[in-house]
Amino acid sequence: MSARVYVLNGPNLGRLGTRQVDVYGATSYADLVTLCVRTGRELGLDVVVRQTDAEHELVGWLHEAADEGAAVVLNPAAWSHYSIAVRDACAMLRAPLVEVHISNIHAREEFRRHSVVSAVATGVICGLGFDGYRLALHHLAARPGAEPAGG
């Protein structure tokens, strides 16, 4: 049985490929999903990718991951900067949490430079585009206790 990893994405990320291509690039959200699932399969991870524009839905998915003891790759998007509900749900996780941002939030507008989620994350990757997701999955697969497919 392979280790489950949730790749969760917050508001507006479903618009990748058409939204602010100068910041986020022209690659679509569907391409991101394909990248994450393919990378997970190569690493022996059971990757579930989800995106929502509804904060309560993301909080529910984080609760699900906490209950399962599953690791999470999270791009909280705008909720990074102010959602205590998302931060508190992240704090309930029992497995690693890697916070990912496509853009470098520290080189953007002042209000984007702080994430309330980072303090409860195992690690943070920002500014590496979609490659940040791939790197997060590689990190999770290499952690002690990550069970390979068929293991």
Which segments are annotated as binding site for substrate?
75, 81, 88, 102-103, 112
Instruction: Provide the annotated binding site.
Output: 75, 81, 88, 102-103, 112
Annotated catalytic residue within 101, 106, 138, 139: 101
Is 24 catalytic? The answer is yes
* Pairwise CA distance, residues 148 & 3, whole Å: 7
- Report whether 86 contacts 60 (CB < 8 A): no
* Pairwise CA distance, residues 117 & 83, whole Å: 8
* Pairwise CA distance, residues 24 & 17, whole Å: 7
* Residue 2, strand partner residues: none
Annotated catalytic residue within 6, 24, 29, 133: 24
46 by DSSP, 3-state: which? strand
* Pairwise CA distance, residues 118 & 83, whole Å: 12
Three-state SS letters, 20-35? CHHHHCCCCHHHHHHH
- Name the residues annotated as catalytic: 24, 101
